[in-house]
Structure 1
């Protein structure tokens, strides 16, 4: 019998907590209050590189995240031999993070490394329909173009920019792989949440002159700007 396996990539958020953890958790609670459901169904990798083994509160930190319903699929940047981490449950170690292609299982011979898939970072994902509530569309290696509306409760995630040729009522998260130059465009801005390269804005923070209009979103000096789109003013 031939055993077949395939590689599959998933987009994960990376959290990098800083000391003091008590203050960082308070800040996280405030972000979660402002953007309710932001971490729902989102796989998270915890990066401990900004902490050390003597960080106060580190022993119970994993439990604090669980109480906030944050699902960890990986932990990096720390040393599992630290005394404070002995009670932690460690997920399987993750490597890489780029899309993977077919994986050939060994058949009694020396295993060979699978050839990495070639990722086309500029290839857009085109969605020719409405993105309905509860759906998540992801293209971590390029733009996402939606030729319709994005409903409330839906989510678009892109490594590049996001283009919505209809009302944007859900969440749009662009530039997820460290691309601060990414932008978000929509024919009608009614988003629940906007984010570029980890910086985000919820509906209550959006300028009134852009709500309900064609608009673009861009990152400038670690701050999201939402501006109406007018003929002759678009910068690409």
Structure 2
């Protein structure tokens, strides 16, 4: 009998605390109070790059987040020596500039990484898209970070669509939709009938409690406007 190793993708939320930390923590508490099921045992990655905390501060931040019942699986943006092995950065996570990687070589800055000579051109990749010709059932997660996702059918409650680009649903959206997950603030979400649990574009989100009841059952589009997630009737 041979041993088989299979790969599988999971969706994790990324929390990026900001200063002042106490105010950010209070906002998190407010979300957890009014939307207790939002994280629903979802894996959470804590990105501390914006805070630049000390080792002691890192421990306090981790404790504060875990004490709120969040399922923390990794911590990014600090030295790996400052966190326990169970919270080590996931494979493929870039280390903060100035820290050292396991080979002992210091990482280069962003300007060096992005520099190219006049006879070289940056590689351009065509925009990819995924067409799903069947309904997305409850409990299913469809993850496509390369580009747009189009579903010819409905997306059931308890399911989710995750796309690096825009999301087009030619049926009823009852589950969760995450668009622009690779930092694409111009991504949009379209659906023929709106009854969603959660909408997210480039990290900004609204839950069912935030939706205008008048939008239920309508054909809508969601997009960002100056860091505000707008949902409006679309014909």
TM-score normalized with structure 1 length: 0.73
- Determine if the alignment matches structure 1 residue 130 to structure 2 residue 127: no
Superposition map of 1:10-21 within 5 A? 10-21=10-21
Change in 2 beyond 3 A, CA 1:86/1:9: closer
Is it true that 1:191 corresponds to 2:192 in the alignment? no
C-alpha displacement of 1:168: 0.7
**Matched residue, 1:45:** 45
Tell me the distance in 1 between the aligned counterparts of 2:191 and 2:124.
27
Q: How many residues align?
A: 207
Superposed CA offset, 1:41-63 (max 9, x none): 54333221222445986423223
Q: What CA RMSD, in Å, does the superposition of the two structures yield over aligned residues?
A: 3.2
2-structure distance, mates of 1:17, 1:211: 33
C-alpha distance in 1 between matches for 2:178 and 2:159: 11
Q: Which residue in the other structure is 1:159 paired with?
A: 164
Provide structure 2 residue ranges, at least 5 long, that are not aligned to the other structure. Answer: 95-122
Provide closer, same or farther for how the CA distance between residues 35 and 25 of structure 1 changes in structure 2, counting only shifts above 3 A.
Answer: same
User: What is the aligned partner in structure 2 of residue 25 from structure 1?
Assistant: 25
Three-state SS of the structure 2 residue aligned to 1:181 is: coil
Question: 1:178 matched to which residue of 2?
Answer: 183
Change (3 A) 1:24 1:12: same
Alpha-carbon distance in 1 for matches of 2:91, 2:72: 11
In 1: Cα distance, 2:162 partner to 2:5 partner:
26
Q: Which residue of 1 aligns with 2:88?
A: 91
- Whether the 8 Å contact between 2:181 and 2:203 is mirrored in structure 1 is yes
Show CA shifts across 1:62-107 (max 9, x none): 23323334333432222345xxx4678532553258xxxxxxxxxx
Structure 2 equivalent of residue 146 of structure 1:
151
Task: Report the 3-state secondary structure (helix = DSSP H, G, I; strand = E; otherwise coil) of the residue aligned with 2:87.
Answer: coil
Deviations 1:108-133 (A, max 9, x none): xxxxxxxxxx9966222222222222
The reply to whether residue 78 of structure 1 matches residue 78 of structure 2 is: yes
Bigger shift: residues 69-78 or 48-57: 48-57
1:125–1:144 Cα contact (<8 Å) kept: yes
Unaligned 5+ runs, structure 1: 98-117, 231-236
- Which digits, 9 at most, give the CA deviation of each residue in 1:157-197, with x for residues without a partner? 11101111111111111001100100000000111111100
Question: 8 Å contact 1:167–1:190 — kept in the other structure?
Answer: yes
Q: Secondary structure at the match of 1:124?
A: strand
- Contact persistence 1:11–1:140 (CA under 8 A): no
Supply the distance in 2 between the matched residues of 1:227 and 1:22 (Cα, whole angstroms): 34
TM-score w.r.t. structure 2 length? 0.73
